[in-house]
Amino acid sequence: AYAAFGKEAFLNAIRRSQDYLLNAQLPGGYWQGELFIDCTLVADTICFRHWDGKIDEDWQRKATNHLLSSQLPDGGWNIYHGGPSEANATIKSYLALKLAGFPLTDPRMVKARSVAMNLGGVPKMNTFSKLYLALLGLFPWKYVPTIPCEVILIGKWCPLNFHEMSNWTRSMVVPLSIINHFKPTRKLRNPVAIDELYPEDFQERELQLPRDPGVFSWRNLFLTTDKVLKLAEKMAQWGIHPFRRHALRKNEDWMLEHFEGADGLGAIWPSMLNSLIAMKAMGYEDDHPQVLRAERELRKLENETETEIRIEPCHSPVWDTAIASVALCASGVSPDHSKMKEAAKYLVSKEIRFRGDWKYKNDTGVEPSGWAFEHENKWSPDVDDSAMVLLALRGMQSGGKKFHQACFKRGLDWLLTFQCKGGG
């Protein structure tokens, strides 16, 4: 950089960047940037609101504006910046626009439909997308892979037990297993169909997930297991499923427990929305405190302007604060700077002193510590956020040195217990 731009230009760029970051710090001592993501969260929320029967026309107008602004020139939607049109994003957005009243003859709908069909149509959608279609009566449940409630009952004796799953997976599986049990398809106020998104010579049997050509493969094993689980589901409908009631209650209790100390279930949008659907499927009334709480947490992820709605998958204050602090320290900002002290205070305040779900896999007896990505997610502090916070605290040892050192040591001791046998 020195050679290309000269020392003075280089130093000026650093100073401008420092000023920008310091001025971008929010009250409370943290930084939080917006997490931009593809259109599917907005499209799914439109679909959910129609399933729920609560349609705010002004909100929907802004949401569809966002979808249309992110439509690609070919008529489809992508799942990452600069990427090509993708089947799930395109079909979900098309359906959301159709639910919102856009006619099939609208040029944007015509182009979207053409792209969707070129990508294979509804049969090429992934499992989660098909489940959301099933909720709207637009896809048969019998072709949606089964997520049995009883997974939560499987103990450590089984290599594939509940706590061998990642935090993300657990927070998805629990509400989805409840949804899978109730299969709460609802009749839409203004019914729509998406028959035009199936190939002309399409047969329903083609909705089945294809098997691998060989006899033995992980895919074939899971497909065979799914057949067994579907038989068990039929038995449950006939009242022959001894553990189902207990498993349902266990999943419900786990979900409600994990609402506490977190920005919604798993503190991330898909789990949060699924938990809301699960509660409504179980019969929770719209004014139930947990339903209202879930709706409130989801609304916090919305960024609304005069013209559009954008939705973030989660908030990232701990990560953003840690990485901003590391950058500022590395570029020469003193740890005694007032804003650096505020950042250090914030990071120390976000240390999780609760023995969360990690205790089932980590039985070392280490003192609880660690940091999560979001504002609140006490159940699942994670390794990468904790490592970044420790790097930040190490660079800010000057102000309140003794306090920071105690927090740093506790966090480091905790982090080291998660090293894998292979060294990583």
User: Which of 56, 212, 336, 384 is an active site residue?
Assistant: 384
Residues near 342 by Cβ (< 8 Å), separated by ≥ 6?
25, 28, 29
8-state DSSP, 309: E
Question: Rounded to 5 degrees, what are φ and ψ at 271?
Answer: -65, -35
Q: Where are the alpha helices (DSSP H) in 198-311?
A: 218-237, 244-259, 269-281, 289-299
Question: Rounded to 5 degrees, what are φ and ψ at 311?
Answer: -125, 130
| 286 flagged as catalytic | no
Strands 302-304 and 309-311: antiparallel
CA–CA distance, 253 with 256 (Å, rounded to integer): 5
| Residues facing residue 26 across a β-bridge | 30
**Encoded tokens for 103:** 């006619």
Query: What is the Cα 108 distance to its own chain's centre?
Result: 28
CA–CA distance, 284 with 398 (Å, rounded to integer): 51
Q: Which residues are designated catalytic?
A: 384
